[in-house]
Amino acid sequence: MSRWTGLTLCVVGYGRGSGKTRVVEELTKILVSRGYSVATVKHCLHPIDVTDKDTYRHRAAGARATLAISRGEVALFLTDSKDSLEGYFDLLPSTTFTLIEGFRRLNYPKILCIADEAHLSDIGFDMGSLVAVVICRDSVKISGIDKPVFCLNDLNSLADILVDMALARIKRMLGGSDCGRCGFKDCRSFASAMLKGEVNPYLCILSRGSRIEIFFDGKPIQLNIFTEKIVFSTLKGLLSCFKGLEKLDDANVKFRLEISSF
């Protein structure tokens, strides 16, 4: 199963001491306390591994990858460097939110942290990607903005916005048909459970392009991806025995099976 995330966004700063790390820290605490999972990414200007430590010596000897394991922690050091940060995302577990500290040029929604007075025309990235502004203290003055502004001391309302954004994104991914085949009353209810890890993200047959639907007494039966492949292959094999169906094209075949009790 490939990695998924409900919402990925960048936390970027303007001015020294803008509070990026504190914002990532506080938002992570709030979101985790609400039952959501969070992965964080940090842009470091200094080397990560420590000179003369064992992992450093392994890498200096020519190891392409070094995995360090201790009680409760795992660290992976890679000596190669891909062109983009996205190339490393699959190393992370699936999470509700992915918070990236820095990387302002990435094409993700952004939270801007400001330490001093600023006019947002000087920020240096597409303002269309801006979600909100966080100021270090109430006395900081900003101008040229039509986005919500929050103080670093209270980010609960900002967390509300991020949850709504994640729900809207997942609902779009699900198709928004409110078909009820997943067992939930509508797509938003399913998305809410999905974001908290209560259901499999790929349970929605519409979002994953399922090629088989099974109903028992009019009620849909949910299949995981593995079971779906088995049932699909079995039905395709049976039907291919009939004249005219010997060469069914997998790409264009979909099955709808309805079973009734007597």
Q: What is the DSSP string of 108-140?
A: S-EEEEESS-EEGGGS-S-GGGEEEEEESSTT-
Question: What pLDDT, on the 0 to 100 scale, is given for residue 30?
Answer: 96
Do 34 and 159 meet the contact criterion of CB atoms below 8 Å apart? yes
Question: What pLDDT, on the 0 to 100 scale, is given for residue 41?
Answer: 92
Write out the H or E segment, with its range, that includes residue 25: helix 20-33
The band of 174, judged by pLDDT with boundaries at 50, 70 and 90, is confident
Task: Answer with the residue of higher pLDDT: 46 or 147.
Answer: 147
Picking from 76-90, 93-107, 154-168, which range would have the lowest pLDDT averaged per residue?
76-90
CATH topology of domain 5-44+84-164: Rossmann fold (3.40.50)
Does 2 have pLDDT greater than 70? no
* Numbered ranges of CATH 3.40.50.300 in the chain: 5-44+84-164
Instruction: Give the angle subtended at the CA of 73 by the CAs of 69 and 76, to the nearest 5°.
Output: 60
Single pTM value for the model: 0.72
